[in-house]
């Protein structure tokens, strides 16, 4: 069965059928060559605080700050890594808190005040939190300079549930204003799992926003949140000795930890303690990552932070500090690594080895008719420099589903008259265009849910076990998702009829939810596992060297006779 929707032409051809590399292992390998800027923001007793504490905000710093203050200097050192255009890139963010001081310069345009009133001298909790991200005119100071900030005031509850309504309204409005990061300081016992926020998490899940949520200050209790979505990060607090702050909540839902125990603020002479101050430190890192690469998805952001964080209590994840303390400079380098498309290099190299002529020959054999003249294309064809129709591309995926057997798509299978007599029978043609072994390898790659989670999170999760691929063209003009089970192939295209850009709608956000719902409804299989033909073998393979046996290995399928024979060193 073939199902497709939204006929159109686009520039993106999902030729990337090679096994995706484990990006963040590669990133970590590359970042070992980072220059010794690490001395300034990775705590190390071998380095004096004096050597790096040359200005947290506009040159104001105390050289006697504890060692983790050196890490905060990364907010300044990032300027050496950002181009002029990246520094000018305006990323929208939102701060939702219990009160923002109306008189603060950065927030004068916002109609929000503290509970105690704008005329009182006390600086509100929300103002202190927001000031870590930016303060003063036009967000000129702070960890996220030049951000466009929306601020929302969530009052203390007068009756049960009112506080939740404020938070939900603010989150929804920030998403509608295309905020990429939402910083919240709402601890769990003030935010019960109301149905309103639960439903809102589905909207968050399908958006491009990352919610950065303070873990809470309940002295080590488990932090609980409305829903476990990929877009939500829970941030614990670190003390000056790089352990968990005594007040900081912890547990399995803790993602990262950042300094917020007697922290300096960008407000003159002020300090702050509490996980509410840790969250904007991470929000600031994410906003700067988005300056470098505005196309990052929330799962990519989370994985970059995981790959570039500094382990604290133990290697990998722990309940006290999550994946560790995010590293500003390494995160920016990793964001640029992804932007520059380093993962496309293997595909280009394969096409270079094969030659454009041979690739087009295979494309035409699979049924693509829009790509013909080899003089019109170069190696960029593998990155999407050609146009295809949705119907033909969906039928290619149906060929993968049918073990390499190509059938021409038809709209009419037969016609019967009023007496149920056959008038016309469409005789479909069948042709083996790929070997069953090659078709299986493609299906195995595209159905690997664990690997694609690194890129897309749970956006492509479905009940069927389908093989699936997304695609996005330049400037978000086209959003693709194509996939299949043995009984059904579905292709979905989302875009504007005038070929204008959509608002940051990637394949995983636009077409994927439609594809997933259709697949779960119309496919007859559940949790399907593509089975290898007899001529396919499994072999342990190293991530980076494609040789067998290593401490970092994965089991991969190979056509018999092509599996690795050399061992890793």
316 Cβ contact partners less than 8 Å away, ≥ 6 residues apart: 323
Cross-strand bridge partners of residue 233: 212
Distance (Å, rounded) from C-alpha 251 to C-alpha 467? Answer: 34
Handedness of CA 403, 407, 411, 412 (dihedral sign): negative
Q: Which of 266, 276, 444, 447 is catalytic?
A: 276
Q: How far is CA 47 from CA 43, 318, 410, in A?
A: 8, 27, 71
Distance (Å, rounded) from C-alpha 183 to C-alpha 32? Answer: 31
Three-state SS sequence of 408-455: CCCCCCEEECCCCCEEEECCCCEEECCCHHHHHHHHHHHCCHHHHHHH
Q: Which of 98, 101, 125, 253 is catalytic?
A: 125
Distance (Å, rounded) from C-alpha 403 to C-alpha 412? Answer: 24
Please give the DSSP secondary-structure letter assigned to residue 138.
G
Distance (Å, rounded) from C-alpha 29 to C-alpha 544? Answer: 10
Please give the DSSP secondary-structure letter assigned to residue 383.
G
Q: 125 catalytic, yes or no?
A: yes
Q: How far is CA 511 from CA 180, 378, 499, in A?
A: 20, 28, 16
Q: 29 catalytic, yes or no?
A: no
Q: 402 catalytic, yes or no?
A: no
Residue 233 has φ and ψ, to the nearest 5°, of: -115, 130
Distance (Å, rounded) from C-alpha 263 to C-alpha 265? Answer: 6
Q: Which of 97, 230, 255, 318 is catalytic?
A: 97
Distance (Å, rounded) from C-alpha 361 to C-alpha 350? Answer: 15
Distance (Å, rounded) from C-alpha 469 to C-alpha 233? Answer: 26
Please give the DSSP secondary-structure letter assigned to residue 474.
G
103-112: Cβ within 8 A, 24+ apart: 104/131, 104/135, 105/135, 105/136, 105/137, 106/130, 106/131, 106/134, 106/135, 106/136, 106/137, 106/138, 106/139, 106/149, 107/149, 107/151, 110/150, 110/151, 112/151, 112/152, 112/153
HSE-CB at 285 with a 13 A cutoff on CA atoms is 33
Closest C-alpha to 93, from 282, 333, 303 = 282
- Catalytic center residues: 97, 125, 276
């Amino acid at each position: 069965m073939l199902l497709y929707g939204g006929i159109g032409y686009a520039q993106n051809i999902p030729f990337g059928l090679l096994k995706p590399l484990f990006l963040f292992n590669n990133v970590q390998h590359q970042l070992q060559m980072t220059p010794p800027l690490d001395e300034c923001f990775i705590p190390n007793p071998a380095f004096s605080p004096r050597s790096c504490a040359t200005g947290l905000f506009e040159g104001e710093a105390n050289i006697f700050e504890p060692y983790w203050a050196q890490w905060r200097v990364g907010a300044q050192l990032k300027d050496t890594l950002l181009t002029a255009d990246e520094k000018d890139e305006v990323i929208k963010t939102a701060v939702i808190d219990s009160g923002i001081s109306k008189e603060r310069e950065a927030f004068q345009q916002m109609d929000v005040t503290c509970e105690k009133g704008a005329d009182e001298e006390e600086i509100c909790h929300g103002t202190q939190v927001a000031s870590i991200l930016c303060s003063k005119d036009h967000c000129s100071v702070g960890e996220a300079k030049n951000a466009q900030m929306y601020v929302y005031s969530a009052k203390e509850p007068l009756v049960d549930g009112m506080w939740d309504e404020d938070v939900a309204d603010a989150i929804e409005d920030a998403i509608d204003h295309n905020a990429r990061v939402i910083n919240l300081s709402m601890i769990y016992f003030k935010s019960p799992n109301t149905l309103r926020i639960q439903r809102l998490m589905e909207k968050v899940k399908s958006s491009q926003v990352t919610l950065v949520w303070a873990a809470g200050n309940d002295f080590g209790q488990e932090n609980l949140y409305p829903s476990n979505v990929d877009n939500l990060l829970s941030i614990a607090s670190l003390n000056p000795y790089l352990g968990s702050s005594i007040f900081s909540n912890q547990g399995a839902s803790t993602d990262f930890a950042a300094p917020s125990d007697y922290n300096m603020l960008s407000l003159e002479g002020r300090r702050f303690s509490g996980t509410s101050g840790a969250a904007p430190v991470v929000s600031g890192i994410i906003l700067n990552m988005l300056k470098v690469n505005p196309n990052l998805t929330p799962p990519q952001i989370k994985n970059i932070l995981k790959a570039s964080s500094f382990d604290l209590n133990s290697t990998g994840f722990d309940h006290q500090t999550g994946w560790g303390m995010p590293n500003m400079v390494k995160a920016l380098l990793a964001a640029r690594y992804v932007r520059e498309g380093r993962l496309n290099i293997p595909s280009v190299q394969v096409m270079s080895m094969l030659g454009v002529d041979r690739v087009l020959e295979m494309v035409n054999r699979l049924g693509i008719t829009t790509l013909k003249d080899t003089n019109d294309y170069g190696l960029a064809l593998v990155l999407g420099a050609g146009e295809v129709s949705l119907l033909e591309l969906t039928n290619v995926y149906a060929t993968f589903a049918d073990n390499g057997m190509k059938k021409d798509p038809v709209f009419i299978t037969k016609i019967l008259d009023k007496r149920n007599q056959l008038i016309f029978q469409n005789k479909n043609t069948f042709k083996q265009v790929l070997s069953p072994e090659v078709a299986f390898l493609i299906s195995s790659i595209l159905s690997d849910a664990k690997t694609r989670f690194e890129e897309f999170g749970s956006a492509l999760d479905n009940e069927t076990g389908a093989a699936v691929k997304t695609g996005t063209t330049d400037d978000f003009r086209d959003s693709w998702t194509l996939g299949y089970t043995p009984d059904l192939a579905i292709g979905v295209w989302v875009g504007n009829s005038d070929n204008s850009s959509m608002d940051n709608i990637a394949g995983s956000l636009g077409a994927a939810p439609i594809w997933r719902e259709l697949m779960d409804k119309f496919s007859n299989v559940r949790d399907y596992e593509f089975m290898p033909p007899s001529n396919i073998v499994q072999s342990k393979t190293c991530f980076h060297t494609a040789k067998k046996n290593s401490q970092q290995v994965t089991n991969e399928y190979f056509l018999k006779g092509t599996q690795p024979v050399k061992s890793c060193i």
